[in-house]
Copies of this chain bind each other. A is one copy, B any other.
């Protein structure tokens, strides 16, 4: 974003940090993503349960957000061999590590 020979005082570490922040915001800013992660963290960890607590999200949208969160390694899918087959979602370590940051953000919003 800044030319290599730029004369401004910003250093590469700072720029790298900036890119990380944008990356992080891209990952969690999807319309429902933070909420989905929090719900799964709280044990609302199946598609049908998530639909109950997020009634205005369409099946398609919920499926898409879950898929993206899995791709971004914030959650994993556990397929349980029941009849019918059950799918449980779990937060990865990275997903869990986001929880206190979301709490901080929520507290910050009220300042």
- Interface residues in chain A, defined as those with a beta carbon under 8 Å from any beta carbon in chain B: 1-3, 6, 8-10, 14, 17-18, 20-25, 27-29, 34-35, 38-39, 42-44, 49, 52-56, 93-94, 97-98, 101-111
Would B97 and A21 count as touching, CB distance under 8 A? no
A-B complex: 7 closest residue pairs judged by Cβ atoms: A20-B106, A24-B109, A29-B29, A24-B105, A20-B109, A21-B106, A94-B111
Q: A111 contacts which chain B residues (CB < 8 A)?
A: 93-94, 97
**Residue of A43, A53, A98 ringed by the most chain B CB atoms within 10 A:** A53
Would A21 and B2 count as touching, CB distance under 8 A? no
Partner of A106, one of B3, B17, B39, B109: B17
Partner of A108, one of B1, B18, B94, B103: B94
Would A101 and B101 count as touching, CB distance under 8 A? yes
Would A101 and B105 count as touching, CB distance under 8 A? yes
